[in-house]
Amino acid sequence: MSSLDHVQILLGSRSYSVPREQLVAQSGFFQALFRSGMRESSAEVVTLHGLSHEGLEGVLRHIMGSPLQDCLPPQDPKRGVKTLDPDLEAPEFDAMVQAPLQALVEAACYLQVQGLLSLLQSSLSPDTCLDLWLVSQLHGQWDLAAASLSYMATHYHAVLQRDDFQDSPESLKERVLEERLRGAPALLVLSHQGANSWLLFRYSDEGGGWRVLPGTAPPSMLRVQGYGATVLNNYLYVAGGTRENGQEVSAMHSYNPSSGCWSEEPAMNQKR
């Protein structure tokens, strides 16, 4: 195999040998470098500066075809990066964003590896959404920032239970809740459709009348009547009730219209 088939990437004291073809296919930075027609386009050695080893190594693993979990550097809760958003300046935020995740996104942005950034966006989770929202702002990745904010709003109660979100400034919490409550009010009706089926209907003047919402009610909700219902943070909560045999129920469930999913919540202390 010709040495031209591989490129030596130098960063500090470390060297990485990577197939040239894969660099060109995955990285806008290397594509521009090797297809420029300039002297550097045939270079066998490329020296990089200003990136961390862990960030570069994560990006190179992605370029070589590793799954996302193998590209994410190990997290160190003692390390962090400070956000540049003046609305979010707070001492406790210094350690909120994991430095390894910051390093990975920084390297992906510098090397223009859009595939990795898109993969991070499509793989958002309660563990990563807050960090990615902050990091994406630092590097002007507005699509990733918008997707992270939308994810936090969609999965609001799961995010709300996290310590890092509770420690975040009030301005961020208000922004996420505002996004969560965006939209027009609608009437919901939970209808018993036979012994083994519940359907949730939504009525909206803007939506043209009634329509069935997605989601299948949990089995523990079946054959229950006389339940109580309320709405909190744009979640529908259904609690209690009695079964056909007169037995009272302590179960509670919530419906998230943003995701179309029912969830079982902690039961009430008393049946009612």
Query: Which secondary structure element, helix H or strand E, spans residue 80, and what is its range?
Result: strand 80-81
Q: Which residues of the chain have pLDDT under 50?
A: 1-2, 76-97
pLDDT, position 199: 79
pLDDT, position 94: 39
**Dist. CA 201–CA 210, nearest whole Å:** 6
pLDDT, position 1: 44
Under the phi-then-psi rule, with left for phi > 0, alpha for psi from -120 to 50, and beta for the rest, what region is 4? alpha
pLDDT, position 262: 86
> pTM (2 decimals)?
0.77
Query: Would you kindly state where each structural domain of the chain is located, as residue ranges?
Result: 50-180, 187-265
Token look-up 């129920």 returns 249
pLDDT, position 160: 92
